[in-house]
Structure 1
Amino acid sequence: MTETTTRATGRNWGRFTLHYVEMIIAMFAGMFLLDMLESMAGLSFSYTTHPEAAYLLMALNMSIGMAAWMRFRGCGWGATLEMCAAMFAPAVPLFPLLWLGLIDGHGVMMAAHVAMFPVMLAVMFRRLDEFAGGHAH
């Protein structure tokens, strides 16, 4: 057992942290790679003119990258889909603020990105045995 493993629970916090970092890297890789391909194909949306579409497409791109990595690593569909939902969930309370003119498209993007990380952690803590257990997925 490593020093990052708690004997009483069998949880490996180093493993948990590694999963979190890997998912963030995969999320950003999906976002940048797919955005580049979409831009080359003329499928880009502006945060100033089409903020909802821009955010939803970006969340989809992040989800694709993260889901691909999670499935490669052997994560189950439940955890994978919940983590993908974490890419979309932060925008839910922000879109009405956008529609009321209380926040602009860039504000939605910034606030949703900031909120995304704790939402991802919440999903991971919800499935703590899967992400920090001593067993493989």
Structure 2
Amino acid sequence: MNGLLRHYLEMVAAMAAGMVAYAVLYGRGVISREITDEAVMILFMSVPMIAFMRYRGHSWRSAAEMTASMTVPAMAVFVALAPLPDVPDRALAMLTHVAMLLGMLALMLVRRVEYSHAGHH
């Protein structure tokens, strides 16, 4: 597996762990139409991803860029679609997560050299 793909999947795994922690601590699933729920879930996903990135030797700036690359597209989709009653809850959740993952992938492709290395550890 190449370095870029491995790094992407490792970050997604860290984010999934954060999403599970969110669901356990808040006693609810990850499907909600409340913007505060979405923001808190993104925070729970961001913290382990940032920790992983720092462990791998990335700068705080890179971690902030990655956090923005996942948050901005997801929140844009959420804000646009959550008020629409014709959009099913599961579709809303899926679309926000797809936007998040595509935003991260786009940043990784733009910064391919940084995200392709094997890491410092």
How would you bin the TM-score normalised by the shorter chain?
Answer: 0.7 to 0.9
Give the Cα separation in 2 of the matches to 1:122 and 1:59.
18
In the alignment, structure 2 segments of 5+ residues that lack a partner are none
1:69 aligns with one of 52, 77, 101: 52
1:34 aligns with one of 10, 22, 26: 22
- 1:29–1:124 distance in 2 versus 1, CA, 3 Å: same
State the secondary structure of the residue aligned to 1:92: helix
For CA contacts below 8 A with separation 6 or more, give which structure has more relative contact order.
2
Alignment of 1:1-137 (within 5 A): 14-39=2-27, 47-48=31-32, 50-89=33-72, 90-99=74-83, 101=85, 103=87, 105-133=89-117, 136=120
Count of aligned residue pairs for this structure pair: 120
In the alignment, structure 1 segments of 5+ residues that lack a partner are 1-12
Give the Cα separation in 1 of the matches to 2:90 and 2:75.
12
Misfit runs of 4+, over 4 Å: 44-48, 133-137
Question: Where is the helix percentage greater, Structure 1 or Structure 2?
Answer: 2
Q: By how many angstroms is 1:51 displaced?
A: 2.3
Paired residues of 2:31 and 2:89 also in contact (CA < 8 A): yes
The structure that has the greater radius of gyration is 1
TM-score after normalising by structure 1: 0.71
